[in-house]
A and B are shown apart, each in its own frame.
Chain A
Amino acid sequence: MSATMEKGVRVLKEVIDSRIASYFSSCVHCGICADACLFYTETGDPKYTPIHKLEPLRRVYEQEYTLFGKLGKLIGWSKAVTDAELAEWQELVYNSCTLCGRCSVVCPVGNDIVYMVRKLREGMSASGNAPDGLKGAVTRTVTIGSPMGIKLPAVKAQIKHVEADYGLKVPLDMEGADYLVMLSSMEIINFPEYLGAIGKIMHSVGKTWTLSSEAFEATNAGMQIGNSDLARVIVTRIVDAAEKLKAKTVISPECGHAYTALRWEGANLIGRPFTFKVQHIIEVLGEFEAQGLLKTEGMETDKLTFHDPCQLARRGGVIKQQRVLMNKVAENFVEMPDAGFMNWCCGGGGGASAIEEGEELRLKAFAVKIRQFNAVKPDRLVTACANCRIVLEEGLEHYAMKLPVIGLTELVAEHLPEPK
């Protein structure tokens, strides 16, 4: 066994807890999780059955933590997990799993399969079996500050543009603001309108906000690759900035996994509760709306539908707010089949969109989205995750479907009354 492999197995042993032991002891091989997974439904290949993706972890559990497993290992009945196997499993653990969590909510015995995939990735990453695309993203996040290699000057340049275009001030490193706003690289490079929208909305509702020059990027490739040490480095950067600026609330951008990393994993990664609140931008807008602060005018008249980012809805508990907001600005808002809690993933979450060799499979799996769109035939598609947005646009282009994709925050911002 190589040294990295040894490390991988050691990490896997460390991540196994009562949950994982209970889950593996409960599986009856009913196969119901397969039908919940877009990589199985769109390929029909049984190897994409979610529980099967965990086979290396299951073997380590059995051999290290069960009486008969230990005996079996002793007398040579059960073989130890090999490096070659982990390499083979890379496709199953990363390319064909977006951590969307549909399997975890249909399993009849209650297995949280995604929880286990997340843990298996720790061992895959430690043993050097993570995909190159994700490795690169992690290295760039840790050394440069963002997975796409964006540095502060790029952010500052965008701030300048936004200030000129929207005629409003974008605060940087302001102490004691109500909100510390985080961005995702995608928004900095591809969707500058997000930052402008935030500025307009905050101005309109009368809240103070700021960006931080030390932490502006919220996406967490460390979590996606399954390296908690690196995930911690990335989260700590945000925690330090928030505490230094004494921000009351940190706003996670329109990015699903950034939200999960910060909202649910963050405190566990740094080993203590946060001193500030973490909210997704859609939650914040929902709150403004509930408090009567969000005034809009005019309605979109074309047919709009909403793609729920998995980490926001099913894995994050934010399901109603986006619907309230949609109905506030669109008179013809229609729901796709399975929308909301059971919405189908775009196919690019959990770091999958950063894996080049997974593209063909990803586009194949996208057929499920095309079916959803065809069921309601919308004029435009709204979402609240910059990564979903890119993946949706790529998928739509591949299937030659003309359907513009927009972000919900900017859609809401377009309907704010003009400042007097």
Chain B
Amino acid sequence: MDHLAFLTWVRGTGLDIALSLFVFGVLWRLIEIYGLGVKKDLSEPRAGEAASGWHTIWRRSFPQKEAMMKSPVTYAGGIIFHFGLAIVVLFFVPHILLIKDMFGFGWPGLPSQVIDLVTVVTMVAMILVLVDRLVKPVKRFLSTKADYITWVLTFMPLLTGWLAVQHLLLPYTLMLAIHILSVEILLIVLPFSKLFHAFTAFGSRWYNGEVNGHKGVAV
């Protein structure tokens, strides 16, 4: 298969397969998890202002001072790479064109120099959190193969996308095809790995906040 045929496949059939599996996987997992249900809390709720599901969804996006001091790399690296990923995925003009092509609507993008910079910063942040995972005893202890595999799967789209735009290492067509393929692999794995926290973190924060709200704990 030549480069162009490869690119055509990942853009067509490959993307269709990946997106289908992604949508199926997300729905399957959401039903698998939230279909289990929770028992109604029969204790009398405390009146007054307190935490709530919505509050905690928002609040946990920011560190508490003490936790921030103890895990600065986890927090700073984590926040930077999550925001960086979102910016690169959602505001790189070719990505928006793809979305417009598929769904019929789009939004203004950011200049490519800005995306370039954000990509590099995001990759550096990801490398830092990986080093932290290897160096910090607790994180190293908790880490499984899946933690390292998902890191690679998340890093690859960033790296290959950046290399493609910079015309580095491999011919552009081939690099672009590899980039798209790496995204497709990520999409397929996401629902069935810890990457699914992209969905469940909101549910978890909601549940946690709901309990604290019920008890009247002001968080």
Contacts and interface: CB of A to CB of B under 8 A. Distances in A.
Contacts of B57: 110
Contacts of B64: 105-106, 342
A320 to B, nearest CB: 9
A50 B75 CA distance: 18
B103 to A, nearest CB: 27
B206 A317 contact: no
Given A18-B37, A26-B204, A30-B78, A319 B215 contact: no
Nearest to B61: A108
Interface residues of B, number: 60
Given A22-B207, A35-B67, A272-B42, A49 B141 contact: yes
B159 interface: no
B43 A317 contact: no
B205 A46 contact: no
A35 B38 CA distance: 29
B16 interface: no
5 contacts: A19-B204, A22-B200, A26-B196, A29-B194, A68-B192
B173 interface: no
B124 interface: no
Interface in A1-38: 16-19, 21-23, 25-32, 34-36
Interface of A: 16-19, 21-23, 25-32, 34-36, 40, 44, 46-47, 49, 51-52, 65-68, 104-112, 115, 263-268, 271-274, 277-278, 314-317, 319, 338, 341-342
Contacts of B200: 22, 25-26, 109
A22 B218 contact: no
Contacts of A338: 66
A107 B63 CA distance: 9
A46 B138 contact: yes
A25 B207 contact: no
A46 B38 contact: no
B32 interface: yes
Contact of A46 (B35, B36, B37, B141): B141
Contact of B143 (A29, A314, A317): A29
B44 A277 contact: yes
Nearest to B219: A105
A112 B201 CA distance: 11
Interface in B8-60: 28-29, 32-39, 41-44, 46, 50, 56-57, 60
Contacts of B201: 26, 108-110
A29 B215 contact: no
Nearest to B205: A110
A315 B215 contact: yes
Contacts of A265: 43
Which among B66, B133, B138 has the greatest number of chain A C-beta atoms within 10 A? B138
A267 B43 contact: yes
A341 B218 contact: yes
Contacts of B218: 317, 319, 341
B109 interface: no
A32 B36 contact: no
A112 B207 contact: yes
B112 interface: no
Nearest to B53: A110
A401 to B, nearest CB: 23
